[in-house]
Amino acid sequence: MKDLLADVHFEFRRSKELAERAMAQLDDPEFFRRPAAHVNPVALIVKHLAGNLVARWTDFPRADGAETSRDRDSEFVLTEQDSRAKLLAAWEHGWKVLFDALGALVDSDLDRSVTIRGERHRVSQALLRGLSHAAYHTGQILYLVRFWRPDGPWLTIPPGQSRKVRGVYLEAGDGQL
């Protein structure tokens, strides 16, 4: 568990950066476009994840992230006030709250308990739960960007390039992907 905090921080940062690189490919209409009636556009994924990050990581691990001030259902409704700039500012704020919380943790915190939606977790479990939630939504964003921009640049290994990329890692002496 010695490096868990550093590894979790790295993976959260990686998810954030992947999502941002993907979103940078979209114009405003694509950012707000729904691919189908019951499918969230990138804008709502951003709004929801921003709200979740603030709720979950404010005063972590002392507070349950389901505080009464959060209106989760409103995170899935776009209003006239939800400009791209405002949504991305909320996104940045949410990630700042998360990274500040991670920065305040020490290894001895990992076995402490935290409550999430009334359920007890070890802090290490809560970190992994939060990471999987952020990675899930990052995947949604990347998928939607690929849907709207099928000819856009690949942010991960492009199809048919796995052997080439693996060769670069092997030549560097890493041996792992």
Provide the percentage of residues in the chain whose pLDDT is more than 90. 70
Residues 22-29: contacts with CB under 8 Å, at least 24 apart: 22/141, 22/142, 22/145, 22/155, 23/88, 23/141, 23/145, 25/145, 25/149, 25/152, 25/153, 26/145, 26/148, 26/149, 28/84
Output the pLDDT for position 169: 46
What is the pTM assigned to this prediction?
0.87
- Kindly report, residue by residue over 53-97, the tens digit of the pLDDT: 999 999 898 876 666 677 776 776 788 999 999 999 999 999 999
CATH of domain 4-171: 1.20.120.450
The yes-or-no verdict on residue 135 having pLDDT over 80 is yes
**Nearest 5°: phi and psi at 79?**
-120, 175
- Kindly report, residue by residue over 157-173, the tens digit of the pLDDT: 888 888 776 655 444 44
